[in-house]
Structure 1
Amino acid sequence: MTDATVVLIADDHPMVRRALAETLAEVMPVPVRVIEVGSFAEIAPVLERQAVDLMLLDLSMPGMNGYGGLASLRASFPTVPVVMVSANEDPGVIRQAMEFGASGYLPKSTPLAGIGEAIETVLGGGLWFPDALDAPPSPGELSRRVAEFTPQQLRVVLLLAEGKLSKQIAFEMSITEATVKAHLSHVFRKLGVQSRTQAVIAIRQLGLFGPLPD
């Protein structure tokens, strides 16, 4: 039997949580188990006792303290990808969410197909945002960003460029798939890209191939 994907929905409105849960059941190609919380204070205890594959987080939930709540969750639980859910579609707000560590941003007006695409992309270790928020970085800027990679992030990127899947990368690096996905999220953010394909193209443009770091 296929293991269920565990999704934590954090929103202070019960009807919104129910609607999101029903949407997940419709768009997910695998079984999904939903955990619901109605306050920011309930999130950390759940993440401390339960493995979660994805969190859908209300941007304006009481206790979030602006982007402070998102930043604190990313610092405390870096392997759990967070998709912000909000009625606010301001590009500046979306960009801020990305910069503070969100792996995705779902405006509440997003159609069903878009929600499915977003969830699939983020669960696969990618980023999903409604619009391209920045121009593609120049080669010089890309080189500077690559220089900021940690040794493990660089190793993940090189294995990704070889066409390895997350499961294969995890095996070769003796880490979990969740850790691979966390590394990929950081890599995508540093490169200013939103998918594995875009990351590989950027790396190929730099000619970043050779012996893997120890």
Structure 2
Amino acid sequence: MPSGYTFVIADDHPLFRGALREAIAGIGDAPCIVEAGDFESAKTALLGEGDIDLLLLDLAMPGASGLSGLISLHGIQPSLPIVVVSAHDDPVTIRRALELGASGFISKSASMDDIRSAVRTVLDGGIAAPAEMDLGEERDPEISNLIRRLQTLTPQQTRVLSMLGEGLLNKQIAYELGVSEATVKAHVSAILQKLSVDSRTQAVIQLAKIGTDSIAAA
């Protein structure tokens, strides 16, 4: 396996970040490991760290709600493999995470060997999910429809939707993305159409729904 990997560990518990660091330290030749303790730090790492090979993401971090954080970070770097690491390891959460762009899912109760194995699987281009678990099919038609609609958003539209969720105005979004306000307005219009809603507020409610509903039952 080639050397020189750069990993980002995003988790708000220092002890668990340390455990993850220990688990992946032997993958490749002395990988560079960046730690983030909240969602903003994770976002900053993705925007400024250059070539990242893999992100290990906790779903329950300050600044992000459930799977909405995954959606947002996936929009920033669509090609970056993201492995969700969560104590919420029920089939529903795992399936929804994979449907929304995660390349793998690791339970926080997993062994060091299982963590390393999952990371290697994803680095090799595979999908890592807990073995011998039937993920089933989505039983909530509203969530199923919402996931399908979110999957139609472009990465830039996904980023705009996430920024709407953070309460940013068009002018602020335009500044953050380095585009014109007219471009942002066009993105917002496309988002409303794809999500089949009439207002920015309704779009944000939909994003929040996939965030909180997805881990509420776990």
TM-score by length of 1: 0.58
2:122 alignment counterpart: 122
CA shift at 1:133, angstroms?
A: 2.3
Larger relative contact order (C-alpha < 8 A, sep ≥ 6)?
A: 2
User: 5 Å matches for 1:139-150?
Assistant: none
2:43 alignment counterpart: 44
2:11 alignment counterpart: 11
User: 5 Å matches for 1:1-214?
Assistant: 3-26=3-26, 28-50=27-49, 51-130=51-130, 131-134=133-136
The CA RMSD measured in Å over matched residues stands at 1.9
CA shift at 1:29, angstroms?
A: 4.3
Distance in 2 between residues matched to 1:119 and 1:3, nearest whole Å: 14
Percent sequence identity over matched residues? 42
Q: Secondary structure at the match of 1:22?
A: helix
Where structure 1 has 5 or more consecutive residues not aligned to the other structure, the ranges are 136-147, 149-214
CA shift at 1:38, angstroms?
A: 0.6
Is residue 5–residue 28 contact of structure 2 (8 Å, CA) maintained in 1?
A: no
CA shift at 1:3, angstroms?
A: 4.1
Distance in 2 between residues matched to 1:123 and 1:129, nearest whole Å: 14
| 1:6-42 deviation line (CA, Å, top 9, x unaligned) | 100001111111111011124x243211100111011
Distance in 2 between residues matched to 1:127 and 1:24, nearest whole Å: 17
Distance in 1 between residues matched to 2:124 and 2:24, nearest whole Å: 16
The amino acid that maps onto 2:68 is G
Distance in 1 between residues matched to 2:113 and 2:65, nearest whole Å: 31
CA shift at 1:44, angstroms?
A: 2.0
TM-score by length of 2: 0.57
